[in-house]
Chains A and B, each alone.
Chain A
Amino acid sequence: MVVPCELRYTSDHEWSRFHEGRVRMGITDYAQDALGDIVFVLLPEVGSRVEQGGVLGEVESTKSVSEIYAPVAGEVVAINGSLADAPEKLNSDPYGEGWICEISPVDSDAYSGLLDAASYEQLISG
């Protein structure tokens, strides 16, 4: 499983990247593999506010549905609208084209509190 070292992670198998004041997030390679073929993504609305760990949306594969949680509290400032017609990007490129949304965090320190790659790798191999 690919776990890029420059990203941060949650124990809910989501990745986050802090860039220019925003946290971009998606689901990890491990998560997409566990879900199987992803066929639908319910995205949050731009402008909505979420708590850390609050529900952002849903990811559905042919076999199951999972909720997506906010890695940090804040306001949703961008969504990856291309997932509406091409949710398979979450399988083919979970850390790139398959990003889900960007959050403007209430507290920029929240990002540094997330798991680093080594800790996440340990979590999924445990």
Chain B
Amino acid sequence: MSAPERSPASAGAPDHADAARRTGFRRSPLEAEHVTLGAKLVEFGGWLMPLAYPRGTLVEHRACRSAAVAFDVSHLGTVRVEGDGAFNTLQRVLTNDLRKIGPGRAQYTHLLDDADASVVDDLIVWWTAEEIFDVMPNASNTSRVREAIGGTDTTATRAVVALQGPQARRLLSRIAPDAACVPRFAVGSFTWEGASCTAAGTGYTGEDGVECALPVEVAGSFWRAVLETGVVPAGLGARDTLRLEAGLPLHGHELGPGITSLQAKLGWVVSWDKGDFRGRRALEHERRTGPSRILRGIVAEGRQPLRDGGLVHHGAQIVGTVTSGNFSPVLERGIAMALVATGARIEDGDEVVLELRSRPVPARLAELPFVRPGTSASRAEVA
């Protein structure tokens, strides 16, 4: 067997035995918990994080669709922007309109490149209190985001635990009822062992859930208490297959240099009626002319995992490129998201052929997301 060739879309390399001995990575405040649980740790965005626990990615994935899982997502950045200028700064820089929400709410938004409207990062803003915003970029983009919006990088002061799945709130309510009842896209506070913590009704799996930010000192006891309720620990491997099934973009794949919000079909995060924001002029141009390519779903005829970089053929033409692909544990088929030329005029359900490692893989275009929470497909395991 050849040394496993890591898929660019996947979240880690298999040489986990060496990972723990490597230095130079940022460490999660929960690392000792992961080691105790027997997790495989991998490098991700400059951090050493769990790829999977001993039961494996597929079990973790299905547990999230049918019950509840917990992810350590401490590697996400937190940049706190506060004071009387904070609101105006974020309004001028980010694409979405904070006037749609208010204190105690969360919003998904983009930071664009001023010159070409490429998505520099996609982030969640937790409007924690009147003049306090906790902006959460992707791990590797934290410094770029901070350059654009200012503020203080508070990443090292807290751990973030994401509880996701149809049973997540019910199980969380046994230990932290105030956190468990924070509504979808709301932000609330709760207390854990006397420490003040924040909970938001957000996530990255397509399932209902809550993300909890805790001071590092109390994070370990919270993590252990969460697992004692029966919540299954899950790693970056499952996080990637879950977000892919849910059709959620990953920066560096569906978003990034040369890819705009409109191409990624995320035009709803752009508020055209709020005045100027970074990248507006370039994005307005694309809005007028129409994007030349757009994000589509692809489902393979068989189980073979689709992989990013794969070319999408339609008849004799190459019409697009896969941005992320893998195996869908719910559909038990290969799935992918791909940027497909709008001029190709192909409909969902139409046959395409993916070229993977020089071999043809039959597939069809499909509507995103592949799996919706509450559908029979994603609930198949519950019954």
Contacts from A to B (Cβ < 8 Å) = 12-14, 27, 31, 34-37, 39-40, 42, 59-69, 84, 87-88, 91
Cross-interface CB contact of A68 among B1, B3, B305, B307, cutoff 8 Å = B1
Within 8 A of A (CB), among B232-255: 237, 240-241
Cross-interface CB contact of A60 among B11, B241, B305, B329, cutoff 8 Å = B305
Q: Given the complex, which residues of B lie within 8 Å of A84, measured CB to CB?
A: 303
Instruction: Report how far A69 CA is from B4 CA in the complex, Å.
Output: 13
In the complex, number of A-B residue pairs with CB atoms less than 8 Å apart: 87
Please, what's the 1-or-0 string for B318-355, where 1 marks a CB less than 8 Å from any CB in chain A? 00000000110100001000000000000000000000
Cβ contact within 8 Å between B56 and A66:
no
Known A-B contacts A37-B56, A39-B327; the reply to A63 vs B51 at CB < 8 A is yes
Q: Given the complex, which residues of A lie within 8 Å of B13, measured CB to CB?
A: 64
- 10 intermolecular pairs with C-beta atoms under 8 Å apart: A34-B15, A36-B51, A37-B52, A62-B305, A63-B12, A64-B5, A66-B1, A66-B2, A66-B5, A67-B2
Q: Can you name the residue of chain A whose Cβ is closest to the Cβ of B305?
A: A60
Q: Given the complex, which residues of A lie within 8 Å of B303, measured CB to CB?
A: 39-40, 84, 87
Q: Given the complex, which residues of A lie within 8 Å of B4, measured CB to CB?
A: 34-35, 61, 63-66
Known A-B contacts A39-B305, A40-B304, A87-B303; the reply to A64 vs B57 at CB < 8 A is no
Q: How far is the CB of B287 from chain A (nearest CB, A)?
A: 37
Q: Can you name the residue of chain B whose Cβ is closest to the Cβ of A91?
A: B56
Q: How far is the CB of A121 from chain B (nearest CB, A)?
A: 15
B58 on interface, CB distance cutoff 8 Å? yes
Q: How far is the CB of A41 from chain B (nearest CB, A)?
A: 9
Cβ contact within 8 Å between A37 and B57:
yes
Q: How far is the CB of B238 from chain A (nearest CB, A)?
A: 8
Cross-interface CB contact of B58 among A31, A40, A62, cutoff 8 Å = A62
Please, what's the 1-or-0 string for B1-38, where 1 marks a CB less than 8 Å from any CB in chain A? 11111110011111110000000000000000000000
Cβ contact within 8 Å between A65 and B5:
yes
Instruction: Report how far A28 CA is from B357 CA in the complex, Å.
Output: 25
Cβ contact within 8 Å between B327 and A62:
yes
Q: Can you name the residue of chain A whose Cβ is closest to the Cβ of B17?
A: A34
User: A-B pairs with the 5 shortest C-beta distances?
Assistant: A64-B4, A63-B10, A39-B327, A67-B2, A34-B14
Cβ contact within 8 Å between B1 and A64:
no
Q: Given the complex, which residues of B lie within 8 Å of A39, measured CB to CB?
A: 58, 303, 305, 327, 329
Q: Given the complex, which residues of B lie within 8 Å of A27, measured CB to CB?
A: 1
Instruction: Report how far A37 CA is from B58 CA in the complex, Å.
Output: 7
Cβ contact within 8 Å between B1 and A13:
yes
Cβ contact within 8 Å between A31 and B1:
yes
Contacts from B to A (Cβ < 8 Å) = 1-7, 10-16, 40, 51-52, 56-58, 237, 240-241, 302-305, 307, 326-327, 329, 334, 357
Q: Given the complex, which residues of A lie within 8 Å of B357, measured CB to CB?
A: 65
Q: Given the complex, which residues of B lie within 8 Å of A64, measured CB to CB?
A: 4-7, 10, 13-14
Q: How far is the CB of B376 from chain A (nearest CB, A)?
A: 21
Which of B1, B51, B241, B329 has the largest count of A CB atoms less than 10 A from its CB? B1
Known A-B contacts A40-B303, A40-B304; the reply to A62 vs B5 at CB < 8 A is no
Cβ contact within 8 Å between B304 and A63:
no
Q: Given the complex, which residues of A lie within 8 Å of B326, measured CB to CB?
A: 62
Cross-interface CB contact of A14 among B1, B52, B241, B334, cutoff 8 Å = B1
Given contacts A37-B57, A65-B5, A67-B1, 7 further A-B contacts (CB under 8 A): A36-B57, A61-B4, A62-B326, A63-B6, A63-B237, A65-B4, A84-B303
Known A-B contacts A39-B305, A40-B304, A87-B303; the reply to A62 vs B57 at CB < 8 A is yes
Instruction: Report how far A76 CA is from B18 CA in the complex, Å.
Output: 36
Instruction: Report how far A12 CA is from B3 CA in the complex, Å.
Output: 8
Q: Given the complex, which residues of A lie within 8 Å of B327, measured CB to CB?
A: 39-40, 60, 62
Cβ contact within 8 Å between B56 and A12:
no
Q: Given the complex, which residues of B lie within 8 Å of A69, measured CB to CB?
A: 1-2
Cβ contact within 8 Å between B304 and A12:
no
Q: Given the complex, which residues of B lie within 8 Å of A35, measured CB to CB?
A: 4, 14
Cβ contact within 8 Å between A63 and B3:
no
Q: Can you name the residue of chain A whose Cβ is closest to the Cβ of B40?
A: A36
